């Protein structure tokens, strides 16, 4: 077995995937208890702000997010220790859900990990820029253009059909902003120093 597969960096994506799969296998019961539901949250069921990110609308939706999370950790997993990844996970969950709660009063429900995935991905990209990896700059521009395109265009009907759910592109925006802000705070100190005059 490849020793890299036993690396500690796989603990977080493994735990997230396991939780998401468990909720998915619980069927309608898990969905109804854990999904973001605006009225329920406003009536005190605040756990939904976090648990909804483990809820998926179908098998395709689940697999798409697990594959995305795996790719993020394949490319960026060694850029941070476990603590920053865990903190970014929690902050992104809260950031996406609170963004939807505050700025989208008409959105009754939301499910999925893609918003949080954007947060983790952007933090990973910022880390690679901090390591002076040129690919990081390219990926940051690519994610920025993706977000802009999503905001200016219409959500993909093909993707919505594939995941059996509307694509809430603003979740991607809030996740990316969260990951950017969090990633900048974790940049190596040398990059924050003012240049000598």
Dihedral (Cα; 99, 102, 105, 109), 10-degree rounding: 40
Q: What is the pTM of this model?
A: 0.90
Using one digit for the tens of pLDDT, what is the confidence trace for 132-188?
888 899 999 999 999 999 999 876 678 888 888 889 999 999 999 999 998 888 765
Query: Is residue 14 predicted with pLDDT exceeding 60?
Result: yes
Q: What is the pLDDT of residue 153?
A: 85
Radius of gyration of the chain (CA): 17
Mean of the per-residue pLDDT values for the chain?
90
All structural domains of the chain, each given as residue ranges with its CATH number in brackets, are 3-185 (1.20.1540.10)
In our burial notation (b when 16+ CB lie closer than 10 A, e otherwise), range 95-105 reads bbbebbbeeee
In our burial notation (b when 16+ CB lie closer than 10 A, e otherwise), range 11-42 reads ebbeebbeebeebbeeeeebbebbbbbbebbe
Please choose, from the candidates 113, 103, 98, the residue with its C-alpha nearest in 3D space to the C-alpha of residue 51.
Answer: 113
Tracing tokens 């390591």 back to the chain, one arrives at 131
- Say if residue 44 is exposed, middle or buried (CB neighbours under 10 Å; 0-12, 13-18, 19+): exposed
Using one digit for the tens of pLDDT, what is the confidence trace for 31-65?
999 999 999 999 999 999 999 999 999 999 999 99
pLDDT class of 3 with cuts at 50, 70, 90? very low
- d(C-alpha 58, C-alpha 71), whole Å: 20
Q: ∠ CA(20), CA(26), CA(29), 5° rounding?
A: 115
- d(C-alpha 178, C-alpha 61), whole Å: 22
Q: What is the DSSP letter of 193?
A: S
- d(C-alpha 192, C-alpha 190), whole Å: 5
């Amino acid at each position: 077995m490849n020793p890299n597969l036993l690396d500690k960096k796989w603990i977080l994506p493994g735990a997230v995937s396991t939780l998401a799969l468990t909720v998915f296998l619980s069927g309608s019961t898990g969905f109804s208890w854990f999904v973001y539901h605006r009225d329920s949250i406003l009536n005190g069921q605040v756990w939904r702000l976090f648990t909804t990110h483990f809820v998926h609308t179908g098998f395709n939706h689940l697999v798409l997010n697990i594959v995305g999370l795996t790719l993020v950790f394949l490319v960026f997993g060694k850029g941070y220790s476990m603590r920053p990844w865990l903190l970014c996970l929690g902050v992104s969950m809260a950031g996406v859900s609170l963004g939807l709660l505050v700025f989208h009063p008409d959105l009754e429900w939301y499910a999925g990990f893609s918003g949080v995935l954007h947060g983790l991905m952007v933090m990973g990209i910022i880390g690679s820029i901090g390591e002076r990896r040129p690919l990081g700059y390219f990926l940051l521009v690519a994610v920025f253009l993706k977000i802009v395109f999503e905001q200016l265009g219409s959500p993909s009907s093909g993707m919505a059909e594939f995941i059996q759910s509307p694509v809430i592109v603003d979740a991607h925006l809030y996740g990316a902003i969260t990951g950017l802000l969090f990633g900048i705070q974790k940049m190596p100190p040398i990059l924050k120093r003012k240049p000598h005059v």
